[in-house]
């Protein structure tokens, strides 16, 4: 499955209802009205600061372990599938298509399946998604499965990914509460996804030196099964958020965009990621244009995710909740400005610095996460989180495609610098809109 916008990498099995993406779910905690919501994860951790406090919540270690295992498994599967298809067809196009199919079904899956996130219990939805993906991976391993069948199975896995991610994000609040612990838990899962991009492909390449592509995919299937088991045994059952009522994804979309503050927050999650992928999409042609070799290209590819991880670690461990709230708007406003350095057509060192700084500014995501979970009504949270994840992934793909199209007309460095200017202007408008939704007392208003 594909990577979640803020959290790169695909989703895989994740227990009960963890952080950033998939985990349909349980009724919400504290924020919910009295009575029905699942118990908020121990209040003590929610009040404590720092990432270690999150791991003191009984269910979170299982959720974290399953997420780590599943994300690495998905990355290995992506490499293995492209190698498998290329060896079978000899076609670079088919190999690239195999990778792209991890992203293309996202918009459809997120739109059509979003209502399920609130309609059924989280644990049931998550384990079902895990088992479905395990079955798809196992079918890919079967020697008689044709290439066309493998591509269909790849689409099926990607189709359920946004549901898994959205349900998991929504139910993370049931485990950790909707406050400080939720923000840090979501950040941890996002960093796992980012780290998987850095080490997962390397591990996958090494793995393929000792096992066949189908053997590597078999390990992915085992990972999904293990995740489902962790989810089933490591988290407790919670009732469906919508109480079994039928809620359509379209209705959820109307509810999200019909609320002024939620609309601004949703776009503030979508837009920066759509522009941040532009330098990544054009890094290969840019590196070729300045005479950088493949080793340098590999290092540059790591700069943005390394900066993102470092920024989140700093914000989550060194800053308190109030400090993070204060830096959210300023960092969001400047997060694309380092990319203006591209206008000077810089060398590798300056490009790496620009990408690193852009990644560090991603620390604003923790503040946006908190505002978002506070703004979303409990009964809408599963659909809202699914749509949020779907939009991020879809716009990342759109951003890459538009960047490539623009680079056919303009030089890559001009496209990156221009996108930084345009993206910054859009973000400033969204920040102004977000500020306008706050009442004088600091409370949000619709």
> Residue 429: CB partners within 8 Å, gap ≥ 6?
none
Burial class (CB in 10 A: 0-12, 13-18, 19+), 325: middle
- Residue that wins the pLDDT comparison between 74 and 340: 340
Q: Is the dihedral of CA 283, 188, 125, 78 positive or negative?
A: positive
HSE of 99 in the Cβ direction (CA atoms, 13 Å)?
Answer: 14
pLDDT tens figures, 101-133: 766 777 788 777 877 877 888 888 889 999 999
User: Around Cβ 70, how many Cβ atoms within 10 Å?
Assistant: 31
d(CA 97, CA 86) in angstroms, rounded, equals 10
Beta strands in 202-310 (DSSP E): none
Residue indicated by tokens 């380092």: 338
**What CA–CA distance (Å, rounded) separates 87 from 207?**
17
Q: Read out DSSP for 13-76?
A: ---SS-SSS----BPP-TTS-TTTSPPPS-HHHHHS-SHHHHTTSTTHHHHHHHHHHHHHHHHH
Q: Kindly calculate the radius of gyration of the chain based on its CA atoms and give it in whole angstroms.
A: 21
| pLDDT value of residue 3 | 43
Residue 427's pLDDT is what? 96
| pLDDT for 247 | 59
Give the C-alpha separation, 179 to 324, whole Å: 13
* pLDDT tens track for 310-367: 999 998 888 888 899 999 999 999 999 999 999 999 999 999 999 999 999 989 999 9
pTM: 0.73
Contacts of 209 (CB under 8 A, 6+ apart): none
Strand partners, 240: 26
Alpha-carbon distance of 391 to 107, in angstroms, equals: 7
- CB count, 10 Å around CB of 409? 8
């Amino acid at each position: 499955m594909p990577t979640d916008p803020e959290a790169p990498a695909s989703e895989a099995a994740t227990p009960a209802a963890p952080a950033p993406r998939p985990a349909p779910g349980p009724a919400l905690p504290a924020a919910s009205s009295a009575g029905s919501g699942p118990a908020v994860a121990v209040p003590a951790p929610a009040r404590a600061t720092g990432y270690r406090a999150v791991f003191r919540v009984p269910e979170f270690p299982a959720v974290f372990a399953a997420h780590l295992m599943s994300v690495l498994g998905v990355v290995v599967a992506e490499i293995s599938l492209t190698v498998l298809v290329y060896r079978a067809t000899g076609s670079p196009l088919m190999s690239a298509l195999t990778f792209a199919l991890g992203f293309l079904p996202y918009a459809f899956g997120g739109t059509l399946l979003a209502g399920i996130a609130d309609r059924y219990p989280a644990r049931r939805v998550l384990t079902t998604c895990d088992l479905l993906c395990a079955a798809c991976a196992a079918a890919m391993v079967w020697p008689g499965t044709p290439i066309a069948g493998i591509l269909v199975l790849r689409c099926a896995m990607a189709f359920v990914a946004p549901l898994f991610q959205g349900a998991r994000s929504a139910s993370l609040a049931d485990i950790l509460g909707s406050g400080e612990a939720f923000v840090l838990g979501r950040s941890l899962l996002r960093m796992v996804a980012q780290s998987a991009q850095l080490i997962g492909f390397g591990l996958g390449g090494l793995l393929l030196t000792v096992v066949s592509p189908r053997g590597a995919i078999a390990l992915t299937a085992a990972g999904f099964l293990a995740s489902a088991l962790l989810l089933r045994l490591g988290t407790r059952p919670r009732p469906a958020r919508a109480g079994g009522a039928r809620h359509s994804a379209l209705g959820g979309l109307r509810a999200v965009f019909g609320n002024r503050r939620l609309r601004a927050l949703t776009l503030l999650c979508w837009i920066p990621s759509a522009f941040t992928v532009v330098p990544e999409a054009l890094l290969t042609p840019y590196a070729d244009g300045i005479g950088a070799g493949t080793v340098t290209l590999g290092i540059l590819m790591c700069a943005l995710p390394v900066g993102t991880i470092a920024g989140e670690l700093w914000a989550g461990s060194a800053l308190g909740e109030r400090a993070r709230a204060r830096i959210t708007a300023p960092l969001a406003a400047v997060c694309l400005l380092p990319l203006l350095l591209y206008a000077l057509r810089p060398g590798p060192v300056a490009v790496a610095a620009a990408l690193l700084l852009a990644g560090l500014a991603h620390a604003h995501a923790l503040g946006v996460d908190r505002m978002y979970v506070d703004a979303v009504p409990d009964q809408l949270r599963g659909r809202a989180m699914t749509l949020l994840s779907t939009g991020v992934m879809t716009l990342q793909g759109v951003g890459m495609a538009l960047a490539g199209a623009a680079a056919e007309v303009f030089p890559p460095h001009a496209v990156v610098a221009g996108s930084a200017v345009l993206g910054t202007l859009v973000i400033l408008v969204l920040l102004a809109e977000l500020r306008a939704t706050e009442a004088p007392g600091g409370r949000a208003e619709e």
